[in-house]
Amino acid sequence: MNTEHANPAELAALRVAFAVTNSTSALGWEAVRAFESEHGVLLPEPYRTFVAEIADGSPLGPPKEGLLALGDMSERTEPGFLKRPFPLTEEWLGEWDDGIDSDDELYWERLDDITFDGSLYLGTEGCGMDWHLIVSGTRRGAVWMLDGESAIPFGGERGQMPGPPGFAGWVTHWAADRPWFPDLEEVVSL
């Protein structure tokens, strides 16, 4: 996954995926650079080029409730939250090694850090299952599903959500109408 330079094949796949989705017009480079300047981050590729040249959101998805426009991607407004590193490097299933649980106020503070620091809110599947693009930290360029009880990266060969990593992989997975959790689909059908 190259987050510094747009891959022409990935951009072509994004153009195909959004050609029929009634996407919102692209922002253009000036607006993308203004957003980056305001928030102190460089958006990862291919998302950066996607927003500038292809589309700024789509009501049809991904995710289920639609892909949000760049300016609609956060409830948090404090300066600098996007440039703070996303705090996770691997999936988190709702418990910290130091024994903090959901009855502890520190749990909710840490959950806020996971939900906001270094990530753009892409949209929701509903029921609190939200998709985020990581823009700062070691997982920059990855797409994660975050909810109040877990944080799971999309992509890779292993894990709960296998597929091509990054924004382009996430979109092409959705465009092919594949389930996010293939193992769960098998269990449900039994």
pLDDT tens per residue, range 75-97: 556 678 899 999 888 887 766 55
Q: Which residues of the chain have pLDDT under 70?
A: 20-23, 73-78, 94-113, 157-159, 183-190
How far is the CA of 164 from the CAs of 22, 134, 170, 189, in angstroms?
Answer: 24, 16, 7, 24
For the segment 124-156, what is each residue's pLDDT rounded down to a tens digit? 988 878 899 999 999 999 999 988 778 889 987
Instruction: Give the sheet arrangement for strand 151-153, strand by strand.
Output: 119-126, 129-134, 143-146, 151-153
Token pair belonging to 70: 């760049």
User: pTM to 2 decimals?
Assistant: 0.86
Q: How far apart are CA 44 and CA 50, in angstroms?
A: 10
pLDDT score at 107 = 60
Q: Which helix (H) or strand (E) holds 134?
A: strand 129-134
The one-letter amino acid code at 48 reads R
